[in-house]
Structure 1
């Protein structure tokens, strides 16, 4: 391998892309959980306001906290997901540029001659 051989850097970039993909997947899971928390909190707040099941002020405060916490978590994870997707795109572009610099040769299937 020569000093300008980009294969090591390509390997490092692929490792980075895998790590970033893991972060993106975790963000997607947290986004789903945040949406569930917002929906659950809103439903609990509605039930509390309507006076169903005899829930009191504590349930209403808990529901408000659940909605607000879900909103904060959703916003944070959406932002992180956008940044991570941008980093993945940049890494993939860099990897493609490095692969483009490699002098690839075509390998063909030639039948072997038996002696």
Structure 2
């Protein structure tokens, strides 16, 4: 992310905070998909085990469906874990840039002297 202007870092900081918020939403969505993927893998494995043991009385269709569920869950899990890692890296980079911009702001001390009323 490049610096937009040296004159008003408050606007840049605001833009970066908006980006961090959007990235946080992406990360949360990835976490939900990761959980759903794990549920799919577990459900598919359980269905496959039940099918192999013959507890449902169904045959090849259930076995193929359970294998597809496991494989789909694995693919989705891998994809979302990768996206989550990239998103977390982007969040850390944006937070570092925000901290750098905040460090550049010329902050003034507020005195503890009482204010005079006019």
Q: Does TM, normalized by the shorter one, top 0.5?
A: yes
1:50 paired residue among 43, 49, 53: 53
| Alpha-carbon distance in structure 2 between the residues aligned to 1:113 and 1:4 | 33
Contact 1:31 1:78 in 2 (8 A): yes
Matched, 1:10 2:10: no
1:107 Cα deviation from its structure 2 partner: 2.4
Normalising by structure 1, we get a TM-score of 0.92
Q: CA RMSD in A?
A: 1.7
Distance 1:43 1:17, change over 3 A: same
Residue 71 of structure 2, aligned match among 68, 71, 74: 68
Residue 100 (structure 2) aligns with:
97
Choose the corresponding residue for 1:85, options 50, 72, 88.
88
2:31 counterpart residue number: 28
Distance in 2 separating the partners of 1:23 and 1:4? 31
Q: Secondary structure at the match of 2:56?
A: helix
**1:45–1:60 CA contact under 8 A, matched in 2:** yes
1:5–1:102 CA contact under 8 A, matched in 2? no
Q: How many correspondences in the alignment?
A: 114
1:70 & 1:22 partners in 2: Cα distance?
22
Q: Which runs of 5+ in 1 are unaligned?
A: none
49-58 or 73-82: which moved more?
49-58
